[in-house]
Amino acid sequence: MGRAVLFKGAYATLDYFTDDIAKELEERGFEVYLFDVADYGKALPGFVAFIQKPVDFALSYNNLGFNMELTPGENIWDCKYIPFVNILMDHPFHYKNALEQAPADTILLCCDRNHVEYVHRFYPHIRHVYFMAHGVVPVALGKEWHERSIDVLYAGGLSVDLTNAISPCKEKYPEIDGDELISYAVKRLVDDHRLLTEHVIEKYLIEKQIAYTDDELSELITDFRLIDSVAASHFREKTIETLVENGIRVAVYGRGWESRNCFHNSNFVYGGLVAPSKVLELMQDAKIVLSTMTWFKAGSHDRVFNGMLAGAVSVTDDSEYIREVIHPGENGFIFQLDNMSEMLRIVTDVLEEHVDIEKIVKNARKEAFENHLLSCRVDEILGRVEELG
């Protein structure tokens, strides 16, 4: 029987995933200590007692517990020789400090293949870095498709609050014009949605003939990571705006929409910010689950797989990995961010049933159940831990 420590308590969505992984591990015979950081004082004594015996691995999403110290200056995972499985749900450039201090036996799992390459370049001390797509929790099928009350569901916020919170200190880089860099990079990404934020920032430096080491470049990319969010939000807003202005009702959930023009369109049905479990319920009553990913060009998003499980038709923007999973007209649809007319046509065709709804829903649910549940990802996780050996 194996033993594992899992961390939760910071984000409701990630807790939802963590709880499911803990349940799956226990069903496989693992003894699991679930460390709830929201009640740190209560959780700590049980944790200290738990690690007195050998532990196969620790696991968390987005670095929770990753740099933990019980003795100042000593990472507990290094002291106890416990591998740490760190599942990143976002681009690594959001987590520079945590990754720089990664435990020696880190297994870093990224939700985009480009993120793996990024870590290889800028954090070469992390030797075990792999791609692992999002996994999802099983959900019931929901209503029959024709009985569903939501035409299009979009669960995703705009990054207005985030970009304000992570705006760079431009004075830190006197050799560059920070505003010019932001303007340049956002324009490049909007003009060509296939480009990567880190590549565009580096291209700017090359054009300006400014030489940076990889360490300096990594810091610059992290400090100017709002560029990524601005570009993603641009296309999120454009996608919803295209639909509502063409008479299609869209139920939207998430932060940041109140200040946008489309918010006042009668076809824009705003539900605010809701719990992850509520989003899954809404998907069970949606005909289409629409997704635009967070600038993941070779990765995934759980919205896509959750929609497939819930019996909706998933319509998502493109990525290298998504093309391996979604077969248009067979189990969902893919659109290009620079072709909103294509996206509008797909949504219209689905709602007007110009496609075989029954076949798509059946195939999509089968694909999600067989390949994208968190139980499938646990297989991958345990395999990586075994490889580390």
Express each pLDDT in 25-36 by its tens digit.
999 999 999 999
Cα separation of 233 and 240, whole Å?
Answer: 11
Q: Are 319 and 345 in contact (CB under 8 A)?
A: no
Q: Are 288 and 312 in contact (CB under 8 A)?
A: yes
The fraction of the chain above a pLDDT of 70, given in percent, is: 98
Q: What integer is the mean pLDDT of 122-141?
A: 95
Over residues 216-255, the pLDDT tens digits come to 999 999 999 999 999 999 999 999 999 999 999 999 999 9
Give the mean pLDDT of the chain. Answer: 95
Task: Count the Cβ atoms, other than its own, within 10 Å of residue 386.
Answer: 10
> What is the per-residue pLDDT for 162?
57
> What is the per-residue pLDDT for 166?
67
Over residues 19-70, the pLDDT tens digits come to 999 999 999 999 999 999 999 999 999 999 999 999 999 999 999 999 999 9
Q: Which residues pair with 75 in a beta bridge?
A: 69
Q: Are 14 and 68 in contact (CB under 8 A)?
A: no
> What is the per-residue pLDDT for 167?
73
Three-class DSSP category at 130? strand
> What is the per-residue pLDDT for 337?
97
Using alpha carbons only, what angle is made at residue 157 by residues 153 and 158, rounded to the nearest 5 degrees?
130
Q: Is the pLDDT of residue 169 over 90?
A: no
Q: Are 314 and 291 in contact (CB under 8 A)?
A: yes
Cα separation of 284 and 171, whole Å?
Answer: 49
Continuous segment of H or E residues that includes residue 7: strand 3-8
Least confident span in 156-165, 277-286, 299-308 = 156-165
The angle, 0 to 180 degrees and rounded to 10, between the axes of the packed helices 374-388 and 12-27 is 70
Q: What integer is the mean pLDDT of 377-387?
A: 97
The fraction of the chain above a pLDDT of 90, given in percent, is: 91
**Confidence class for position 168, pLDDT limits 50, 70, 90:** confident
> What is the per-residue pLDDT for 160?
63
**Confidence class for position 189, pLDDT limits 50, 70, 90:** very high
Q: What integer is the mean pLDDT of 74-86?
A: 97
Q: Is the pLDDT of residue 163 over 70?
A: no
Task: Count the Cβ atoms, other than its own, within 10 Å of residue 23.
Answer: 15
Separation of CA 286 from chain center: 21
Over residues 330-364, the pLDDT tens digits come to 999 999 999 999 999 999 999 999 999 999 999 99
> What is the per-residue pLDDT for 139?
86
> What is the per-residue pLDDT for 140?
86
Q: Is the pLDDT of residue 91 over 70?
A: yes
Cα separation of 357 and 131, whole Å?
Answer: 32
Q: What integer is the mean pLDDT of 67-83?
A: 95
Q: Is the pLDDT of residue 161 over 90?
A: no
Q: Are 145 and 288 in contact (CB under 8 A)?
A: no
> What is the per-residue pLDDT for 90?
95
> What is the per-residue pLDDT for 171?
83
